[in-house]
A and B are shown apart, each in its own frame.
Chain A
Amino acid sequence: KAGVTQTPRYLIKTRGQQVTLSCSPISGHRSVSWYQQTPGQGLQFLFEYFSETQRNKGNFPGRFSGRQFSNSRSEMNVSTLELGDSALYLCASSLADFGSGDEQYFGPGTRLTVT
């Protein structure tokens, strides 16, 4: 079974631009979560999607948004990029088996550099 895939793997953008990152979950997984990883803050939760609905959102400004499609694929968008948005963006998927602890599987990440 293929793992979680993320595209693109690397991106270089200029301040003020916007960017869209894509995540394809493991087949059969219904939940997709996004995380930002920086050296200073570590891994921080951005948002989670299940059945095309945002189920939870972390403490990030409205410039960060996302969506999920009917095939469970997800995209996240960052508008008006700032230097501080430079980070590794990780996507995770899970079965979303409610009522039990759900193992999260991560993709390889997208490295975003804002200049």
Chain B
Amino acid sequence: KQEVTQIPAALSVPEGENLVLNCSFTDSAIYNLQWFRQDPGKGLTSLLLIQSSQREQTSGRLNASLDKSSGRSTLYIAASQPGDSATYLCAVTNYGGSQGNLIFGKGTKLSVKP
């Protein structure tokens, strides 16, 4: 059974710092991995989608990497800003499973202090 773990559960950093969020998964047979952002009480905003054949994706100050063989992904945020404060979730889609069935980690709650 696929399990997704995110460490740390919470992170507080000063503004301007570069940071890395971690995501690990137990079964490497995945279609893709997706990173989301969730603000309190709101829905999820898709940040980056990495296909199983890709190693990384970039969008602005965000860079996500995927190492399928070791079951790990990282989300790198450069020059963090207070507006980056949110909960970050990673989710995988199992190969052979329904592509609408995402398996989520519990998230990392990020706080960026001015």
Contacts and interface: CB of A to CB of B under 8 A. Distances in A.
Given A101-B32, A101-B51, A103-B49, A94 B99 contact: yes
B72 interface: no
Interface residues of B, number: 27
A105 interface: yes
Contacts of B93: 101-102
A6 B36 CA distance: 19
Contacts of A109: 42-43
Given A42-B104, A42-B106, A48 B45 contact: no
Contact of B107 (A33, A42, A105, A106): A42
Contacts, number: 77
A99 B99 CA distance: 9
Given A90-B43, A108-B42, A102 B89 contact: no
A64 interface: no
Contacts of B105: 42
A31 B101 CA distance: 11
B100 A101 contact: no
5 contacts: A35-B102, A45-B103, A48-B101, A56-B101, A105-B46
Interface of B: 31-32, 34, 36, 41-46, 49, 51-52, 89, 91, 93, 97-107
